[in-house]
Structure 1
Amino acid sequence: MIPRIETITERKLVGLCRTMSFAKFELVQLWQAFRPLRKSIENPVNSDAISLAIYQPEHFGHFDPNRSFEKWASVEVSDWENIPDGLEILWLPGGKYAVFQYKGSSTDTSIYQYIFGSWLPQSDFELDQRPHFEVLGSKYRNNDPESEEEIWIPIREKTK
């Protein structure tokens, strides 16, 4: 699977955040809490949802399933005016991303094993310290093998 390389400008997001780990993965609960609040967001840029993670710099150095990170259920908005009660804002910095078109169940982690175990080490890029995210568009169906989403991995040119 060959990703497209895309450079984006900064984006404004509104959503809910929860600190979790892979050992105590509470993604379902996060999205269950966000879904009813999403309807109150007045200025979404489109109908896509964004599942975003913010990892500490050492997160990928040595995998520890108990290491915590921030996980967001969010949408991109045109501005931060009239943010509904209970929701938070997040500024997504711009930068270069490897974008993988993924088709399959959201519970299948083999795509991430491929990205971090095969594609990234063999590419001309290294991981950059910015948020990782998935764009969940109209073809996204949670846990469905026919589901489609985009996986955005922050990258930069490898240092020589």
Structure 2
Amino acid sequence: MKPTIKIFPETKFIGKNLSFSYTDYRAFELWSSFMPRRNEIQNALGTDLFNIQINPENFDFNPQTKFVKWAVVPVSDFDFIPEGMQSLIIEEGLYAVFNHIGDVSKARETFGYIFGVWLPNSEYELDNRPQFEMLGEKYKNNAPDSEEEIWIPIKKRI
């Protein structure tokens, strides 16, 4: 599994977020509260959904370490933010983009490969910026033929 190295442009998002850890993983709760309301976002750019994770500085992947997960859509502006939703901006940056095929149960294998094999053997290191999955037209929740892009923030090793 070889990634494509891309620059993600500065992008505005509107959606919902929750703070939790891998031990107390509540992504289903987050997405269940967001999906029925996503059409309230009036200035969405396209139909892609983004599952964004913002890790604390020096994230250690400890199962108890908390991070913030966002369920969002990209938007043209922040002129109207539905009640109970928040805005987020991801700054432009370098990313390794992996294509994940399979249902959510296979994601652990993909992330294990990314962080345990590819990243340590690459010319890059993890950068402290948001990582995310882009859920586009080929994404089918929990289907074996579902496809999504995994965007990992990177920088050249010094």
TM-score category, normalised to shorter length: over 0.9
SS of alignment partner, residue 121 of structure 1: helix
TM-score (norm 1): 0.95
Task: Report the CA distance between 1:15 and its aligned residue.
Answer: 0.6
Structure 2: gaps (5+ residues): none
Q: Summarize the alignment of residues 94-113 of structure 1 with structure 2, pairs less than 5 Å apart.
A: 94-108=92-106, 109-113=108-112
- Partner residue, 2:146: 147
Distance (whole Å) between structure 1 residues aligned to residue 143 and residue 59 of structure 2: 29
1:2 equivalent in structure 2: 2
Show the counterpart of 1:49: 49
Within-5 A mapping of 1:31-50 = 31-50=31-50
Higher helix fraction: Structure 1 or Structure 2?
A: 2
How far residue 144 of structure 1 moved from its aligned partner, in angstroms, is 1.5
CA offset at residue 107 of structure 1? 2.4
- The CA deviation string for residues 4-43 of structure 1, in whole angstroms up to 9 with x for no partner, is 0001221101010000100000011100000111010011
For residue 152 of structure 1, what is the amino acid of its counterpart?
W
Alpha-carbon shift at residue 81 of structure 1 (Å):
0.8
How large is the Cα RMSD of the aligned pairs?
0.8
**Is the 2:58–2:128 contact (alpha carbons within 8 Å) kept by the matching residues of 1?**
no
Q: Please give the alpha-carbon distance, in whole angstroms, between the structure 1 residues aligned to 2:24 and 2:80.
A: 33
CA distance in 1, matches of 2:57, 2:116: 18
Aligned length: 157
Render the CA deviation track for 1:134-160: whole Å, top value 9, x for unaligned: 00011111221111000000000001x
SS in structure 2 opposite 1:155? strand
Unaligned 5+ segments in structure 1 are: none
Pairing of 1:76-91 with structure 2 (within 5 A): 76-91=74-89
Q: Distance in 1 between matches of 2:5 and 2:139?
A: 21
Moved more, 25-34 or 135-144: 135-144
Alignment partner of 1:117 is 2:116: yes
> Do residues 19 (structure 1) and 30 (structure 2) align?
no
